[in-house]
Amino acid sequence: MHTSDTVVGIIGGSGLYQMDAIHDLEEIHIATPFGEPSDAFLRGRMGDTTVVFLPRHGRGHRVSPSELNFRANIWGMKKLGVSRILSVSAVGSLKEEIVPGDFVIVDQFIDRTRHRVDTFYTGGVVAHVMFADPFCPNLREALVAAAGSTGVKVHDGGTYVNMEGPQFSTRAESKLYRSWGADVIGMTNLQEAKLAREAEICYATIAMATDYDCWHEGHDAVTVEQVVATMHANVDHARDVLMKAVPAVTSAPTCGCQSALAHAIMTDPTTIPDEARDRLGLLIDKYV
Ligand SMILES: CSC[C@H]1O[C@H](OP(=O)(O)O)[C@H](O)[C@@H]1O
Ligand SMILES: Nc1ncnc2[nH]cnc12
């Protein structure tokens, strides 16, 4: 049996804390230079592909969006050899035609966060990666195809507003985001995507619409109860999409995500402090 060298990471969001389709599981605790990840990483096999699963908020949903240690989560994935990450997230819909239960394979972001650390490159190393297209085109294509074959309504592209939270939006904010043309709203994906790009890991998301946020006059304002109920009703579809997408993302990448740092580091290598080399070596050693 052919075994792929590509290790695929899966980050599960609200309602997706485990995946029974992953076999031969081992639980791996990783200490990172950036502190504690959300939980132990679960490494196993899906068919002939090695996958590493991490529940974004930890098992038991213990870590709030603003408290997520995105750097530790992405660094841990890199340490385990992950080169492509598929993420699953619950989102509110900002458009009539994105009905709760639909999947959106988002392709853009608007940043409305205020309390987040979103770069690895501080303390003596400066890097500016490209982020005009924040999601990996190869992974997006695989997710659109996989989602299409499950019978769920899938929207190819959409702008994800990343709000701070943990409170949901006010009606005025929700209407403002609609006037900007945004499609969905959530609290977690932007920093993950930025850090994955900085770590040269491909990243894409299955955003599952769970509610109409609070702008829709015909629907009650979003509640956790509503998000959880829609997620539970649809989480098996998300698992199906992942099972179909994982083998499809093991071929050689044609995107530029895995060389994103090649021309991004501004710092003269001779000035990089030893401490920064130790902290960032996993990410920058091949360039400096
Ligand atoms: C439970 S509603 C709000 C919560 O759900 C989303 O989480 P995730 O992206 O991890 O699925 C949203 O971003 C909030 O964190
Ligand atoms: N309406 C909403 N706002 C922010 N995050 C969400 N996650 C699911 N629904 C959401």
Tell me the ligand closest to 57's alpha carbon.
1
Domains: count for the chain: 1
Res. 4 pLDDT band, cuts 50 70 90: confident
**48 exposure class (CB count in 10 Å sphere: 0-12, 13-18, 19+):** exposed
User: What are the tens digits of pLDDT across the range 229-252?
Assistant: 999 999 999 999 999 999 999 999
Is 87's C-beta closer than 6 angstroms to any atom of ligand 1?
Answer: no
Structural domain boundaries enclosing 144:
3-284
Amino acid code (one letter) for 141: E
The closest-lying atom of ligand 2 relative to the alpha carbon of residue 169 is: 3
What tokens appear for 255 in the block? 């995107």
pLDDT value of position 89: 98
User: What are the tens digits of pLDDT across the range 171-202?
Assistant: 999 999 999 999 999 999 999 999 999 999 99
User: What are the tens digits of pLDDT across the range 96-124?
Assistant: 999 999 999 999 999 999 999 999 999 99
* % pLDDT > 90, the chain: 98
pLDDT value of position 2: 53
CATH code of 280's domain: 3.40.50.1580
Is 98's C-beta closer than 6 angstroms to any atom of ligand 2?
Answer: no
User: What are the tens digits of pLDDT across the range 43-57?
Assistant: 999 999 999 999 999
Position 213 pLDDT exceeds 60: yes
Q: What is the pTM of this model?
A: 0.97
| Mean pLDDT of the 165-170 span | 98
Distance (Å, whole) CA 214 – CA 250: 39
Position 1 pLDDT exceeds 80: no
Which of 213, 219, 220, 224 to mutate to test ligand 2, by most ligand atoms within 8 A of the CB atom? 213
Question: Which phi and psi angles does 287 have, rounded to 5°?
Answer: -105, -25
Tell me the ligand closest to 213's alpha carbon.
2
Res. 3 pLDDT band, cuts 50 70 90: low
